């Protein structure tokens, strides 16, 4: 059974099923389609399925041409999970958020697994790509799959291979980012390596699903801790009247032992603000208190409050209060040059401004309409950015530093400009660095 599936994958005769057609699943589906695999995408969102059928993209950095080409070559999307029986590989790319208690919410993973189990058959491989705590694949997916009568490692195979997508990064793609793979057993690992070898330049096997799960957490915790450090340094530098960005630039000239991380109004995306808490939650099962990781999370979560204080003080200096002030937020995606809104610190900042009575607008060339979000609700559209429009706001907040912004226009026409990204290095009476 193992050899048959491995050969099917190596010869590209396998039908690949991608469950969840978002920022991770859609580019992965297109990657398999580009290599000549037959690909079936599964999603509960009818609008996504309809747009794919029309060859249209719903993610800014993924061109419609790529989807149209894949559809022409046989890529289909569906909401019918009974079609799982027709694919040879099932790759799960669904969200793993935190609940309101900052604990792992595996409902998307578990509900999706429960949806596919009735349609599983012998000779398939299931790969989980959603970031989670070590042990999830073995403790949660394995018993659910084996409840169908199949035996993991014998007639069905189970692997964990963490997604490493970086939306909008022009230097790395799904194809060129190395892929870590861990299997429940030796046979599972062999199948998992074959699953990704044909579409990813470099596959990195590890000894277990737990090792693969922990690898993704370490990657993102490394970033969270270092961003937390530089955010704390920013607050210290602010008190001392030192430009943190000048300091970072100078430190970065050292050719060894230093990596430049940049501070901001918080951290966003589906990984950095969330993944560390998956480990802190699981570590408590082993009597471990991960103080270092949690401290970094606390600092990063505090940053919108730091920016709010800077806004309030700056308005107060101009004999205005936050309440009633007209505030324009520039950039609401979680990082520059993309349309991804997941866990965006800009949105948390907007929530705080609205709570304190500010009259809000935003401008973002990548997000023309504020999207529907699980925890945030703003009935807003991106306003036009002109000299006249800027001049009517009491405060302009640069929250995400998109390249498309006309920064000379912004600084010359804002009554009060709050820079949370270190984009403006000059001193100006209307400029406050936050």
The answer on 260 and 193 residing in a single domain is no
Domain count along the chain: 2
> Which residues have C-beta within 8 Å of that of residue 42, sequence separation ≥ 6?
17, 18, 19, 20, 21, 77, 78, 79, 80, 81, 83, 84
Quickly list DSSP for 66-129: HHHHHHHTT-EEES-GGGGGG-SEEEE-----B-TTS-B--HHHHHHHHHHGGG--TTEEEEE-
Q: Which residue matches tokens 């969840």?
A: 20
> Which residues have C-beta within 8 Å of that of residue 413, sequence separation ≥ 6?
387, 390, 391
The answer on 264 and 130 residing in a single domain is no
19 sits in which H/E element: strand 15-19
What is the reported pLDDT for 196?
98
In a domain, 181, yes or no: yes
In a domain, 423, yes or no: yes
What is the reported pLDDT for 373?
84
Among residues 93, 188, 237, 271, the one annotated as catalytic is: 271
| Phi-psi sector, 133: left (phi>0), alpha (psi -120 to 50), beta | beta
The answer on 316 and 420 residing in a single domain is yes
What is the reported pLDDT for 29?
98
In a domain, 404, yes or no: yes
- Partners of 41 in beta bridges: 18, 77
d(CA 399, CA 384): 17
The answer on 180 and 112 residing in a single domain is yes
The answer on 290 and 174 residing in a single domain is no
In a domain, 217, yes or no: no
pLDDT in 10s for each residue of the chain, 434 residues: 788 999 999 999 999 999 999 999 999 999 999 999 999 999 999 999 999 999 999 999 999 999 999 999 999 999 999 999 999 999 999 999 888 778 899 999 999 999 999 999 999 999 999 999 999 999 999 999 999 999 999 999 999 999 998 888 889 999 999 999 999 999 999 999 999 999 999 999 999 999 999 999 999 999 999 999 999 999 999 999 999 999 999 999 999 999 999 999 999 987 888 888 899 999 999 999 999 999 999 999 999 999 999 999 999 999 999 999 999 999 999 999 999 999 999 999 999 999 999 999 999 999 999 998 877 889 999 999 999 999 999 999 999 999 999 999 999 999 999 999 999 998 899 999 99
The answer on 292 and 260 residing in a single domain is yes
Q: Is residue 206 within 8 Å of residue 195, measured between CB atoms?
A: no
- For 133, the domain range is 2-207
Instruction: Look at strands 431-433 and 124-128 and give their pairing.
Output: unpaired
In a domain, 73, yes or no: yes
User: Is 271 marked active-site?
Assistant: yes
The answer on 239 and 190 residing in a single domain is no
The answer on 107 and 49 residing in a single domain is yes
For CA atoms 411, 417, 423, 425, the dihedral sign is positive
- Tell me, what CATH number does 92's domain have? 3.40.50.720
Q: Which two tokens stand for residue 102?
A: 């900052």
The answer on 141 and 59 residing in a single domain is yes
């Amino acid at each position: 059974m193992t050899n048959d599936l491995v050969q099917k994958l190596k010869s590209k005769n396998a039908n690949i099923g991608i469950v969840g057609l978002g920022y991770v699943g859609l580019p992965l589906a297109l990657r398999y389609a580009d290599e000549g695999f037959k690909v079936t995408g599964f999603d509960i969102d009818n609008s996504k399925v309809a747009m794919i059928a029309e060859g249209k993209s719903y993610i800014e950095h993924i061109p419609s041409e790529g989807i149209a080409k894949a559809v022409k070559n046989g890529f289909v999307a569906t909401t019918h999970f009974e079609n799982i029986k027709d694919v040879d590989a099932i790759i799960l790319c669904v969200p793993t958020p935190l609940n309101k208690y900052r604990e792992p919410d595996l409902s998307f993973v578990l509900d999706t697994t429960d949806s596919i189990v009735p349609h599983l058959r012998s000779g398939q491989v299931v790969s989980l790509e959603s970031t989670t705590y070590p042990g999830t694949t073995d403790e949660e997916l394995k018993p659910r799959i084996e409840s169908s009568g199949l035996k993991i490692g014998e007639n069905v195979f189970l692997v964990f291979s963490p997604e490493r997508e970086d939306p909008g990064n022009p230097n790395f793609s799904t194809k060129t980012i190395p892929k870590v793979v861990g299997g429940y057993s030796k046979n599972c690992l062999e199948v998992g390596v074959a699953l990704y070898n044909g579409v990813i330049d470099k596959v990195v096997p590890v000894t277990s699903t737990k090792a693969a799960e922990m690898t993704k957490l370490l990657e993102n915790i490394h970033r969270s801790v270092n961003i937390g450090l530089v955010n704390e340094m920013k607050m210290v530098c602010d008190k001392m009247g030192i430009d943190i960005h000048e300091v970072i630039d100078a430190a970065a000239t050292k050719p060894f032992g230093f990596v430049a991380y940049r501070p901001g109004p918080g951290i966003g995306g589906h990984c950095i603000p969330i993944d560390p808490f998956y480990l802190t939650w699981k570590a408590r099962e082993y009597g471990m208190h991960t103080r270092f990781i949690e401290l970094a999370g606390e600092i990063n979560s505090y940053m919108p409050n730091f920016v709010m204080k800077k806004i309030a003080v700056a308005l107060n200096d101009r004999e205005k209060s936050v309440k009633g002030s007209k505030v324009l937020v520039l950039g609401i995606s979680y990082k520059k040059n993309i349309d991804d809104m997941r866990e965006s610190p800009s949105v948390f900042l907007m929530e705080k401004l609205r709570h304190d009575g500010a009259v809000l607008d935003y401008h973002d060339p990548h997000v023309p309409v504020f999207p529907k979000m699980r925890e945030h609700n703003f009935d807003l559209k991106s306003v036009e950015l002109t000299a006249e429009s800027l001049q009517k706001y009491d405060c302009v907040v640069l929250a995400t530093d998109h390249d498309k912004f006309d920064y000379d226009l912004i600084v010359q026409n804002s009554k009060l400009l709050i820079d949370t990204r270190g984009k403006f290095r000059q001193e100006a009476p209307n400029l406050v660095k936050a």
